[in-house]
Amino acid sequence: MTSTSPTRILLGPGPSPVDIRVLRAMSRPLVGHLDPLFLDIMDEVQELLRYVFQTSNRLTIPISGTGSAGMEAALVNLLEPGDTAVVGIHGAFGERMLDIAERTGARVVPVRAEWGHPLDLDEIEDALRRERPRLLALVHAETSTGVHQDLKNLGDLAHRYDALLVVDAVTSLGGMPLFVDQYGIDVCYSGTQKCLSCPPGLAPITFSERAIQRLRARGRKVQSWYLDMSLIEKYWGAERHYHHTAPISTIYALREALRLVREEGLEARWRRHELNHRAFVAGIEAMGLEMFVAREHRLWSLNTVRIPEGVDDQRLRKDLLDHFNIEIGGGLGPLKGRIWRVGLMGAGSTPENVMLVLEALRESLRVQGIHCPSGREAAERVYHA
């Protein structure tokens, strides 16, 4: 076995490619996690995260853990045994939300949509009106299906029934429009390894004052000591009270990744993701392939393509890896063997990668006897429009 890792072209559902500046930041010498220099870095990271989340929330930090730790932190801090939660489910990560919420002892009411479709606003309101839950939780960017859930009006809707709005933005933060304060989101979490193009290991999260007050009013301790935000906020806040040893190198990396976002500008970054998404879709459709999600509900960061009849999914993805050094993802759960998941996220969302993956897919399909026209010209027309 080789002792070095290959330089893959990461075009799957995550992790995404990492800029050399971020990798260099990780290699800087360590300091202590209570060193004054590191405390200043923590302050800068919080301010940069407020920019990316588009919020003024005081409690906006990276949790030491992956995006799933962010999901768990959001739910275990706000739910107690006997509470009711409404959870929107239209893919694998809504199902994970439901599982975590049930483990808190809460009564969970699911609102479901078919995988590949967004949730229905009327069904959500019916559940809120009927159940009067403590919170409504749903996924903004469903990584398992490529569906974008419109968040407009959901904050007002949840608050009308005295519920908090919890949003999973793991595959959208930094790659699609997201306005925490404007949308009335009470808790929003993400992961560093998607559109932020930082190595995995941190979960950016933000709590509104409304959510903090709910946390303060709990009748019992949060079931997870490690993810108890009432403890963690004292380390990230003015008290600087020791909670755990922060992953210093990963926070160096996150600061640099967030600096790159700020230098590009959020709106420019969103436009870049949208443009490369549209070019990719144009190329796919010119090849005679089909997207899985309807145009108006597609993510820009994670593209799902229907696998043509007769194509061996695992063989094709292995061929892409072996011959083109490209990683794409397969389907999860009921979509296994039915879709490919092509990530164009963060540093990986480039015209060069769009052209590369279109040509590689065409060649790998040809090996299996599927002959497609080139998608390059259609993609190029999008760029030159």
Does residue 2 register a pLDDT over 90?
A: no
Average pLDDT over residues 225-248: 94
* C-alpha separations of 317 from 187, 288, 332 in Å: 36, 19, 14
Q: Which residue pairs, CB below 8 angstroms and at least 24 apart, start in 102-105?
A: 104/75, 104/76, 104/79, 104/80, 104/223, 105/79, 105/80, 105/81
Burial class (CB in 10 A: 0-12, 13-18, 19+), 160: exposed
Residue 145: what pLDDT? 98
Average pLDDT over residues 95-123: 98
363 with 287: CB under 8 angstroms? no
- Mean per-residue pLDDT over the chain, rounded: 97
Does residue 1 register a pLDDT over 70?
A: no
Q: Are strands 202-207 and 329-330 parallel, antiparallel or unpaired?
A: unpaired
Tens-place pLDDT, residues 47-75:
999 999 999 999 999 999 999 999 999 99
Angle at 31 between CA 28 and CA 33, to 5 degrees: 125
Tens-place pLDDT, residues 193-204:
999 999 999 999
284 with 53: CB under 8 angstroms? no
Tens-place pLDDT, residues 9-21:
999 999 999 999 9
What is the H or E stretch that residue 340 is in? strand 339-343
Residue 4: what pLDDT? 73
Q: Please give the Cα distance from 172 to 102 (Å, whole number).
A: 25
Average pLDDT over residues 125-153: 98
Q: List the chain domain ranges.
A: 20-263, 266-384
Residue 266: what pLDDT? 98
Does residue 3 register a pLDDT over 80?
A: no
Residue type, 381: R
- pTM tops 0.85, yes or no: yes
CATH top-level class of 20-263: alpha beta
Q: What are 89's strand-pairing partners?
A: 112
Q: Please give the Cα distance from 90 to 145 (Å, whole number).
A: 8
Q: Please give the Cα distance from 226 to 207 (Å, whole number).
A: 17
Burial class (CB in 10 A: 0-12, 13-18, 19+), 59: buried
Residue 6: what pLDDT? 80
Average pLDDT over residues 337-362: 98
Average pLDDT over residues 90-115: 98
Q: Position of tokens 């990986």? A: 348
Tens-place pLDDT, residues 270-303:
999 999 999 999 999 999 999 999 999 999 999 9
Q: What is the token pair recorded at 45?
A: 């990271």
179 with 51: CB under 8 angstroms? no
Task: For the domain covering 266-384, report its CATH number.
Answer: 3.90.1150.10
Residue 232: what pLDDT? 96
